[in-house]
Structure 1
Amino acid sequence: MKNKKNLGRFIFYILLFIVTLTMLIPIVNLLALSLTDPARVKEVTGLTIIPKGFSFDNYRVLFSNPQIMKSLFNSVFITVIGTALNLALTIMAAYALTRPGLVGKKFFMVILIIVMVFEPGLIPEYLLIKSIGLLDTYSSVILYKALNVYYLIILMRFFEEVPEALIDAARVDGAGHLTVLFKILIPLSKSSIATIGLFYGVFHWNEYFRASIYLNDSAKWPLQLVLRQFVVLNDTTSMLGANSLLSFDKASQLSYKALQAGTIMIAIVPILLIYPFILKNYTKGTMEGGVKE
């Protein structure tokens, strides 16, 4: 029995390793392509994971482009502000909807579920954004889905797992709503809040569709929209206009394909760097540091 269990675990690990490779190899291949010497780009194949030669020329061109740097700042700004707003609204709504004495709780939940199932169409949404004067502003993409009902329900379940006796004891000591929320519920729900925050952050970082509709000023475009212009629409004019850091010979050797790979890496690396700080919260229980019953 033990040998069968070990064999099954070994096969499971092998399968996980294969699945991991299928996800990592394309990313590592893009990284290798972006770091390859421009003169040797043709040597890079779809399975290459080690750069042919080593050069930062592609990144020097990309980071010398003011549109890339501006769009990177825009993405960071939209992601940070948007995620902070999302978490604030989700936490406050989850706290209110999990209070036993809330009048009309079922009514509010029905309304939220209806909104989650029947989302408004793009045209009414656009007309609303236009009528309240948010077109061509960061608010038009930050306020979209400021509260995700699905994530709200997840956080409500975590808040409901906190023993009511713990909250009652705090109220006996004179704790108000803010104290209960910030001193008890939030610390005991850090794992769920970190997870939801990651989901919100990835959503804002990857958003480009509504930005392409609501943001006409290219100076306000997020990085994903610039990436789409360059990689999907093959708009090379603005991307290749900042080659002053390279000699004419070097600039003439630049590969459009390698520049695409470098742009993609700039877009995905920042969000990948956040994962290690969030993953440590996945293994923590909601009642870590709480009372034992």
Structure 2
Amino acid sequence: MSVTDLRRTGKAAAPGTADGPGLPAAPPRQPRRNPGRPVWEEDPSPVGQGLKGLTLLGVCLAILGPLWVVIVTSLSDRRTITEAGGLVVIPRTVTFQAYEELLSGGTVTRAAIVSLLVTLVGTVLSMTVSVLCAYGLSRPGSFAHRPILMVLLITMFFSAGLIPTYLLVTGIGLQDSYWAMILPSAISVFNILVLRAFFMSTAPELIDSARIDGAGEWRILLRIVMPLSKAVIAVISLFYAVGYWSQWFNAMIYLNDAEKWPLQMILRQLVIKQQAPQGMSQMIATQQVPGLAVQMAVMVLALIPVVIVYPFVQKHFTKGMLTGAIKG
């Protein structure tokens, strides 16, 4: 039976037979495991499921393995570190000497307080400006919202560079100031665009009904738009907070006073430059506290805030980022 005859009669050729003169025999179709579901929603085969499990296991080991080594090394004494030749994989003795030295009210404690305050103030400032800017750009009738949006987009691809930024920061008197760690990186255009897209997905009927009831733009933003955008606000707040907490470059450039250094600068001094901050150098030099254990302990202290906050925000990632990036 030829292809033309099949189209006329609507009958399919038998499996394993040729569809027409000169055409190869069509292979038999594999029966679907669940005909009631689309093809892309079918359950994976046992082989595919096993490969996914092995892949996830490998990723988990690649992430948790170094973290385990860092934690175990920070809790080891000098003898264990010496016998291991450096990083410790299998713990033998557990000691908190490194953490006691770090949290005894010295340089590291002060640096942790500085990082915490910079993170809180910077996150609140960045979120306030970003939410206001994104809401203004999401309103079609707002003043010059398209030219302002184009200017913001240009800054994503072109920047002034390090030297002009340094001259600007020092010229306005932010040298050796905590604001030098906040203001130069206070705004992220990408985060503003995500917020804007999410705000634009708000039902226009809600906003129109609020305007009919006499609500102004501030009330609409605070009472309608922001409560409906808790997911994206939580995610963007986490992005800003992690950025401020992990910041060290601005502190290295603009801060001359070591007492104003954040925790990441102390970590840099210990790990990269192999230099102990003042107040700790004598303890390490006299071998009372292993230097490697102190380095690993600072790493653990730097990870703790992110590890604590992330599980509470993780559930909002899919709704906050994907919806904000696709809609609008």
TM-score, with normalisation over the residues of structure 2? 0.80
Could you tell me which of 291, 307, 314 is aligned with 1:279? 314
Could you tell me which of 142, 165, 169 is aligned with 1:125? 165
Which residue in the other structure is 2:204 paired with? 164
- What is the Cα deviation at residue 6 of structure 1? 4.3
Kindly tell me: are residues 154 and 72 of structure 1, through their superposed partners in 2, closer, same or farther at Cα, counting changes over 3 Å? same
Could you tell me which of 87, 93, 97 is aligned with 1:57? 97
Q: CA RMSD in A?
A: 2.3
Q: Greater Rg, structure 1 or structure 2?
A: 2
Kindly tell me: are residues 284 and 61 of structure 1, through their superposed partners in 2, closer, same or farther at Cα, counting changes over 3 Å? same
- Where structure 2 has 5 or more consecutive residues not aligned to the other structure, the ranges are 1-31, 34-42, 322-328
Aligned counterparts of 1:173 and 1:44: Cα–Cα separation in 2: 72
Residue 215 of structure 2 aligns to a residue whose secondary structure is coil
Aligned counterparts of 2:282 and 2:179: Cα–Cα separation in 1: 30
Give, as a single letter, the amino acid of the residue that structure 2 aligns with 1:226: I
Task: Say if 1:65 and 1:242, in contact at 8 Å, map to a contact too.
Answer: no
Aligned counterparts of 1:129 and 1:160: Cα–Cα separation in 2: 34
Kindly tell me: are residues 80 and 255 of structure 1, through their superposed partners in 2, closer, same or farther at Cα, counting changes over 3 Å? same
Q: Deviations over 1:10-45 (max 9, x none)?
A: 321320121111011101110001112333223447
- Where structure 1 has 5 or more consecutive residues not aligned to the other structure, the ranges are 287-293
Aligned counterparts of 1:185 and 1:117: Cα–Cα separation in 2: 29
- 1:185 is the counterpart of 2:211: no
Give, as a single letter, the amino acid of the residue that structure 2 aligns with 1:81: V
Kindly tell me: are residues 27 and 159 of structure 1, through their superposed partners in 2, closer, same or farther at Cα, counting changes over 3 Å? same
Give the number of the structure whose residues are more often helix, by fraction: 1
Of 159-168 and 271-280, more deviation after overlay is shown by 271-280
Identical-residue share of aligned pairs (%): 37
- 1:256 is the counterpart of 2:291: yes
Kindly tell me: are residues 162 and 19 of structure 1, through their superposed partners in 2, closer, same or farther at Cα, counting changes over 3 Å? same
- 1:211 is the counterpart of 2:241: no
Q: Deviations over 1:110-131 (max 9, x none)?
A: 1111122111111111111111
Aligned counterparts of 1:4 and 1:118: Cα–Cα separation in 2: 45
TM-score, with normalisation over the residues of structure 1? 0.89
Aligned counterparts of 2:62 and 2:263: Cα–Cα separation in 1: 26
Kindly tell me: are residues 42 and 132 of structure 1, through their superposed partners in 2, closer, same or farther at Cα, counting changes over 3 Å? same
Aligned counterparts of 1:8 and 1:82: Cα–Cα separation in 2: 45
Aligned counterparts of 1:50 and 1:185: Cα–Cα separation in 2: 52
Residue 252 of structure 1 aligns to a residue whose secondary structure is coil
Residue 233 of structure 1 aligns to a residue whose secondary structure is coil
Give, as a single letter, the amino acid of the residue that structure 2 aligns with 1:266: L
Give, as a single letter, the amino acid of the residue that structure 2 aligns with 1:150: F
Kindly tell me: are residues 68 and 169 of structure 1, through their superposed partners in 2, closer, same or farther at Cα, counting changes over 3 Å? same
- What is the Cα deviation at residue 102 of structure 1? 1.2
Instruction: For CA contacts below 8 A with separation 6 or more, give which structure has more relative contact order.
Output: 1
